[in-house]
Amino acid sequence: METIHKATTTFRIRPHLAEYDASRVAFSWDEIRKELTGSSASKYWNLAQLAVDRHLASTGRSKLALRWLGKDSQVRDFTFADLAAASNRAANVLRTLGVGKGERVFSLLGRVPELYFTALGALKNTSVFCPLFSQFGPEPIWQRLHRGDAKVLVTNVAAYEKKIAGLLDRLPQLNKILLVDSADDLSQNVLSWPKAFAAANEIFDVPATSSDDMALLHFTSGTTGMPKGAIHVHEAALTHYATGKYVLDFHSDDVFWCTADPGWVTGTSYGIFAPLLHGVTNIVDEADFYAARWYRLLQDQRVTVWYTAPTAVRRLMRIPGRPREQYDLSALRLVLSVGEPLNPEAVVWGVEALGMPIHDNWWQTETGGIMVANYAAMDVRPGSMGRPLPGIDAAIVRRSADVVEVVQEPGVEGELALRRGWPSMFRGYLHDEDRYHRCFVGDWYLSGDLARRDADGYFWFVGRSDDIIKTSGHMVGPFEVESALMEHPAVAEAGVIGKPDPLVGQVVKAFVVLKQSFTPSETLQFDLLGFGRKRLGPAVAPKEISFVDNLPKTRSGKVMRRLLKARELGLPEGDLSTLETDG
């Protein structure tokens, strides 16, 4: 598709990144540090203090920081002064419970105010905040709580009763559970958040925090083994701030809405920290996707910058009508998308339906923030993820053992790599240093994503180099799905792939080998689908199941998922030299 050309003279507000090449040349992380913290040499700051308390010394203390829209039409507004007081209370609750520096505070909540208080309060207490996706089932929750050494969990009564209570015998390190919707304590260890919160002081002295102290723990699925806990530090604030400035193009009067769930990294980096760091108003909607509600929210809240996901865009595209004729979207000036590659048709639909292209960008849980993007003032090439952020060196590389060769020729496919050292770069996988070190070769972080770069420096996504499944913007590791299915008494083996789907990107499909005493049937198929949903939750569980006599494996016994996928899609099977069993 043709390039969508931009001209800075057409913008109501001049973008921060008006000239891409000049901005890259002039960029300095030290200058970003100075702009955010007041000193280019400072190495001691706290992410929550920068996001909230920093604004209290000016007129910003009375500015609307967060507007929460409940499912039932309830609206709650919080100024920066309100958020400071609430996060101080949350920090005091944690301190009273004996939670210390570096200890993990988990949340299992939807988009409710208590989640935001918990995140900011945990950071002020120099503890580590770790969000969980509220639709996870018991097994993914247990894996993350166990591997993350959870000390405290903040959740609600329904999630506790349905998903957590049965796990407690397997979680001896989980000291306290706080229930945000219980008026009374249920036991010595299962406590009422409202009761503890009301009793806590609004004043809290934040301990000295190094920018290298652990702040956030985000879990990301792997193709083998347990989910990986990516460690991020307080210094990540620099990337959150820089990308808020250059990619989201925040200005002081902006009203921002990020639709991502805080259980995922986008919902924390850009649903919490980036807008607060810039002092803009952040809209939080508790409800799930509903097209009419979303358009009314954009209209009624006068949203200026909107950050959403390709799955949501594709759902909106399916609805007939002209949104700009039905709703007043005149305040909107920038729309962005992340989670999986945005197809070119969606970019062009944005121009027709919203009056502007949708700006795709690329990053990962491990990068902590946006690394490659289409910027407000830069020409958009539909289907491209854009160009690297100022301060980020990105390249297409070929990997051979412990050597990386940077590909100079445009148009050549290879692995997308980033030169190590940006502030939000993850600092480890919790309890798995070997896996962490395997992500790097020399100065390069290897993303696992295949891409190509054109002659003008735009990057284009090609595919994953592993078996990770992206469904509705969520990353699903086939191993954890396979492991859960094999707990069913009928299942002998399971292999899981991502099957292309025009709406959600990929659906999770499982191939199941039954034990000898079981026979394939539609009843058993439905039973397995329900079992998967109960164990894994609807976001992770397989949507399709096929029974097979055996699974293709390598001689070492590893399931060849690529071969399962090739056969499912009718693609070439490729090299079969390592195949042991032909399924």
Q: 138-180, pLDDT tens digit by residue?
A: 999 999 999 999 999 999 999 999 999 999 999 999 999 999 9
Q: 515-567, pLDDT tens digit by residue?
A: 888 999 999 999 999 999 999 999 889 999 999 998 887 554 567 888 898 89
Integer Cα distance of 583 and 579 in angstroms:
10
Integer Cα distance of 134 and 224 in angstroms:
23
Contact 374, 27 (CB under 8 A): no
Contact 61, 55 (CB under 8 A): yes
The residues, ordered by sequence, that sit 6+ positions from 539 with a Cβ below 8 Å of its Cβ are 133, 135, 136, 471, 472, 474, 476
Give, as one character, the DSSP assignment of residue 465. Answer: S
Residue 225: predicted pLDDT = 65
Higher pLDDT, 188 or 483: 188
What letters, b where the CB count within 10 A reaches 16 and e where it falls short, cover 425-464? bbebbbebeeebeebebeebbbbbbbbbbeeeebbbbbeb
The residues, ordered by sequence, that sit 6+ positions from 293 with a Cβ below 8 Å of its Cβ are 285, 287
Q: 500-514, pLDDT tens digit by residue?
A: 998 888 999 999 999
β-pairing, 104-108 vs 553-554, is unpaired
Residue 435 has pLDDT above 90, yes or no: yes
Residue 486: predicted pLDDT = 80
Integer Cα distance of 581 and 269 in angstroms:
45
3-state helix/strand/coil string of 237-299: HHHHHHHHHHCCCCCCCCEEEECCCCCCHHHHHHHHHHHHHHCCEEEEECCCCCHHHHHHHHH
Q: 261-295, pLDDT tens digit by residue?
A: 999 899 999 999 999 999 999 999 999 999 999 99
Residue identified by tokens 């998308």 is: 337
Residue 579: predicted pLDDT = 61
Q: 345-376, pLDDT tens digit by residue?
A: 889 899 999 999 999 999 999 999 999 999 99
Average pLDDT over residues 322-347: 91
Contact 15, 375 (CB under 8 A): yes
Integer Cα distance of 446 and 58 in angstroms:
42
Average pLDDT over residues 7-32: 92
SS3 365: coil
Would you state the structure tokens that stand for residue 45, as one six-digit string? 């700051």
Strands laid side by side in the 176-179 sheet: 190-192, 176-179, 150-155, 104-108, 128-132, 214-220, 228-233
Integer Cα distance of 91 and 238 in angstroms:
23
332 burial class (0-12, 13-18, 19+ CB within 10 angstroms)?
buried
Would you state the structure tokens that stand for residue 573, as one six-digit string? 């099977």
Residue 417 has pLDDT above 50, yes or no: yes
Higher pLDDT, 566 or 78: 78
Integer Cα distance of 523 and 526 in angstroms:
5
Contact 376, 400 (CB under 8 A): no
Give, as one character, the DSSP assignment of residue 392. Answer: -
Would you state the structure tokens that stand for residue 580, as one six-digit string? 């042991």
Average pLDDT over residues 32-61: 92
Give, as one character, the DSSP assignment of residue 380. Answer: B
Please report the domains of the chain, with CATH numbers, ordered by start residue: 8-45+234-464 (3.40.50.12780), 70-230 (3.40.50.980), 469-581 (3.30.300.30)
Residue 578: predicted pLDDT = 47
Q: What is the mean pLDDT of the chain?
A: 92
Q: 122-141, pLDDT tens digit by residue?
A: 999 999 999 999 989 999 99
Residue 53 has pLDDT above 90, yes or no: yes
Beta strands in 401-555 (DSSP E): 403-406, 414-419, 440-441, 444-453, 459-464, 469-471, 474-476, 491-501, 505-514, 544-547, 553-554
Q: 442-482, pLDDT tens digit by residue?
A: 999 999 888 899 999 999 987 776 777 888 877 787 877 88
Name the residue among 231, 233, 227, 232 with its Cα closest to residue 146. Answer: 227
What percent of the chain shows pLDDT beyond 70?
A: 96
What percent of the chain shows pLDDT beyond 90?
A: 74
Give, as one character, the DSSP assignment of residue 185. Answer: -
Integer Cα distance of 408 and 428 in angstroms:
30
Residue 223 has pLDDT above 60, yes or no: no
Residue 580: predicted pLDDT = 57
Average pLDDT over residues 402-416: 91
The string of DSSP letters for 300-347 reads HTT-SEEEE-HHHHHHHHTS-S-HHHHS--TT--EEEE-SSPPPHHHH
Integer Cα distance of 216 and 204 in angstroms:
20
577 burial class (0-12, 13-18, 19+ CB within 10 angstroms)?
exposed
